[in-house]
Amino acid sequence: MNLIPFPFLLDIKKNQHLISFSQDEIWGIINKVIESLYEEYPLYENFAMSINNELIDNAKDILRQGDLRSFKTFLESINQICGDNFVIYFSGWNKKEKNDAIRRFENLIKERYQLDQDVLEKIDFELFMGKYETTYGGIHREFCSNIQYVFYGKKSFLVWPPEYFENYKMKEKNQKDTNYQKEDYLLEKTSEEDITNGIILNGYPDNAFQWWHVGISPDLSASMTLAFYD
């Protein structure tokens, strides 16, 4: 599968064949994932949380204090605890409990992109929630194709054509993903110059992105990335 070299923004409302999740339905799934934090077999593969661009060790304790009635109440309550720069991340939650919504969505993706079953099995659902200046770790590129679906609040992406960074020395970081163990990071932090030179995509609920990138969420948001691995 080829990487997508340039971004696009898609209005899902005008392309209903691509998605069939309601916000309440997604929250029902995520609620179960969060509630499983202290279970012996949690409903996710990887979990992390950063505050002020630093990973924290007591993330589970913080999330258990959240108001789990909805995305809005949960994110607002965590915002009060953590302040205005935090990211919550879950991955692999589509592989632990195959509920009807996840199965339906996987089938839609399989049909839309004409995927073989072995490729479908490698798709990783990643959840990003929070309010943050940039994604933890800075500008990066995974060795996969990504589609990001925004389902709460507003989220923006800064993206760049590949040649923008051709004189930068990339560094490789290991990640805990079960499908692919490496990703490239360019910068620990995103500079003002990078922001000025980046292409800004603004995403609202029911928008999707496909795209070097860094996420920006000046307001509370929740979004899901589908990572397609070869």
Residue 6 is predicted with a pLDDT of 45
pLDDT per residue as tens digits for the range 149-190: 788 898 888 877 767 766 665 554 444 444 444 455 555 556
Distance (Å, rounded) from C-alpha 98 to C-alpha 91?
A: 14
Q: What is the pLDDT of residue 178?
A: 41
Q: How far is CA 111 from the centre of its chain?
A: 22
Domains annotated on the chain, with CATH: 8-228 (2.60.120)
Amino acid at the residue 113: Y
For residues 212 and 170, give the distance between their C-alpha atoms in angstroms, rounded to a whole number.
11
- The length of the chain is 230
Per-residue pLDDT tens over the stretch 63-116: 999 999 999 999 999 999 999 999 999 988 777 666 666 676 677 677 766 777
Query: What is the residue-wise DSSP string for 58-86?
Result: -HHHHHTTS-TT-HHHHHHHHHHHH-S-E
Q: How far apart are CA 4 and CA 18, in angstroms?
A: 18
Highest mean pLDDT among 20-24, 56-60, 145-149, 215-219: 56-60
Task: Report pTM.
Answer: 0.77
Contact 113, 214 (CB under 8 A): no
Judge whether residue 11 has pLDDT over 70: no
